[in-house]
């Protein structure tokens, strides 16, 4: 298999390099559609997770508590008199409802958008490498502490990278080596506060030599360090400030498949913030799971994250990068967040406005409704799932002004009266000796 050269100049295996960068967990993990967070039934691992907090628990918390209107409406507020129910490659999806298309803070939209971009980028990188070109993966971080707010740290990271690519020495090296790049911004939090950082892929016309990577690393660190200090932050660590992984030459065509698997993992590392977990703190959706699970101490931190990430671009491309990877016109976040955009999507049926009210108001409605339906389902299955919603919906779940609430309250009174009557009948039976002692 091809060798790598780390920013420390030490050649080794892919596993060693990825572990040094903290990428190994993701570079060796390729989740299938059934394991991904989406409008599908919760996977077995999600249902049995330690937190017990699933997708719809996160959505319900955001509906009630998010500081952003888009998140509070996403998948809840209708814009159509009917809501279509679709079967997609990832599960069940609903059309006719608002969608926030947040790549940062929405557990459903972010998953769809980032998964699509990761697959697109992975395909482009695979072809790029197969054609004999070179790639260098770069992670850049800035010093941070628990007292630093997130918004200016976000700004500092993006500003420092802009300074790197316009730096005189880096520009001279870029002209000589002729590279393009795709830049990914992400953030985690821990005991030392917010940790925004960049994962970049630098694309070269040919694989770089070990000495060229070391020269590139030195120039990038010098420019990065100077930019960070000019912004008023402490000098970056030489160990962690700039870290590089070089894609080495292949040792023969038979290794392309194994090599491509690593590329796919690294494209996930660039893009899939929605599926990441931090071992020493919180990735964003770890934080949301904690908050939705009842950890009130982290609510303010989540609100800070919501507002600091709002409108910020997660993935950006240098001029000519998408063209070099033959990726064509970039789809918008709104297009990628559409769960029924796939050719494999099938319309199963639709819900009336009343039925959609039941779905959203039901304490566990979306989970059970989605689990009841599959690719082979049809209108009758949708009707059966709706009947279950109505039959199990508690009156207290609907607003007092909702027209269906009186019917539900009457039904609950009837059921309660029947239970009381059954209990009284049982007592009378015992008193009359109708049941033996073994009963």
Give the model confidence (pLDDT) of 397-426 as tens digits: 999 999 999 999 999 999 999 988 888 888
Most confident of 48-62, 97-111, 216-230, 332-346: 216-230
Q: What per-residue confidence (pLDDT) applies to 432?
A: 76
pLDDT level of residue 25 (50, 70, 90 thresholds): very low
Least confident of 177-191, 213-227, 336-350, 360-374: 336-350
Rg of the chain (C-alpha set): 27
User: Tens digit of pLDDT for each residue in 113-157?
Assistant: 888 888 888 888 888 888 889 888 898 999 988 899 999 999 999
Mean pLDDT of 362-386: 91
pLDDT level of residue 44 (50, 70, 90 thresholds): very low
pLDDT level of residue 281 (50, 70, 90 thresholds): low
User: Tens digit of pLDDT for each residue in 150-197?
Assistant: 999 999 999 999 999 999 999 999 999 999 999 988 898 888 899 998
Q: What per-residue confidence (pLDDT) applies to 276?
A: 52
pLDDT exceeds 50 at position 251: no
Share of the chain above pLDDT 90, in %: 50
Domain boundaries, the chain: 4-30+107-336, 48-95
Q: What per-residue confidence (pLDDT) applies to 7?
A: 42
Mean pLDDT of 307-328: 92
pLDDT exceeds 80 at position 266: no
For 183, list phi and psi in degrees, rounded to 5.
-115, 130
């Amino acid at each position: 298999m091809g060798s790598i050269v780390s920013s420390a100049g030490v050649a080794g295996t892919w596993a060693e390099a990825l572990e040094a960068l903290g990428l190994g967990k993701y570079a060796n993990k390729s989740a299938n559609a059934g394991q991904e967070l989406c409008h599908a039934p919760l996977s077995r691992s999600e249902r049995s997770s330690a937190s017990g907090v699933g997708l719809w628990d996160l959505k319900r918390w955001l509906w009630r508590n998010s500081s952003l209107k888009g998140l509070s409406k996403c998948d809840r507020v209708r814009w159509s008199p009917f809501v279509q129910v679709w079967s997609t490659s990832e599960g069940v999806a609903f059309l006719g409802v608002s969608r926030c298309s947040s790549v940062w803070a929405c557990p459903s939209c972010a998953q769809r958008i980032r998964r699509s971009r990761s697959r697109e980028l992975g395909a482009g990188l695979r072809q790029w490498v197969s054609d004999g070109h070179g790639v260098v993966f770069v992670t850049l971080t800035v010093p941070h502490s628990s007292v630093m707010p997130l918004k200016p740290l976000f700004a500092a990271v993006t500003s420092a990278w802009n300074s790197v690519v316009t730096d005189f020495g880096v520009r001279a090296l870029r002209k000589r080596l002729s590279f393009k790049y795709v830049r990914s911004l992400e953030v985690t939090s821990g005991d030392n506060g917010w940790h925004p950082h960049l994962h970049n892929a630098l694309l070269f016309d040919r694989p770089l030599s070990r000495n060229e990577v070391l020269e590139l690393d030195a120039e990038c660190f010098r420019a990065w360090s100077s930019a960070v200090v000019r912004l008023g932050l402490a000098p970056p660590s030489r160990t962690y400030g700039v870290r590089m992984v070089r894609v080495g030459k292949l040792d023969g065509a038979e290794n392309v498949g194994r090599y491509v698997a690593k590329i796919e993992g690294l494209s996930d590392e660039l893009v899939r913030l929605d599926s990441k977990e931090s071992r020493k703190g919180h990735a964003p959706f770890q934080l949301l799971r904690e908050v939705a699970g009842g950890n009130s101490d982290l609510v303010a931190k989540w609100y800070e994250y919501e507002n600091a990430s709002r409108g910020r671009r997660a993935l950006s491309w240098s001029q000519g990068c998408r063209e070099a990877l033959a990726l064509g016109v970039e789809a918008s976040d709104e297009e990628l967040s559409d769960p029924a955009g796939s050719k494999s999507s099938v319309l199963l049926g639709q819900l009336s406005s009343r039925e959609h009210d039941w779905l959203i108001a039901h304490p566990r409605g979306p989970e059970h409704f989605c689990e009841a339906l599959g690719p082979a389902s049809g209108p009758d299955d949708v009707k059966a799932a709706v009947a279950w919603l109505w039959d199990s919906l508690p009156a207290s779940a609907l607003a007092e002004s909702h027209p269906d609430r009186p019917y539900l309250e009457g039904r609950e009174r009837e059921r309660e009266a029947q239970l009381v009557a059954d209990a009284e009948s049982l007592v009378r039976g015992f008193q009359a000796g109708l049941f033996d002692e073994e009963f």
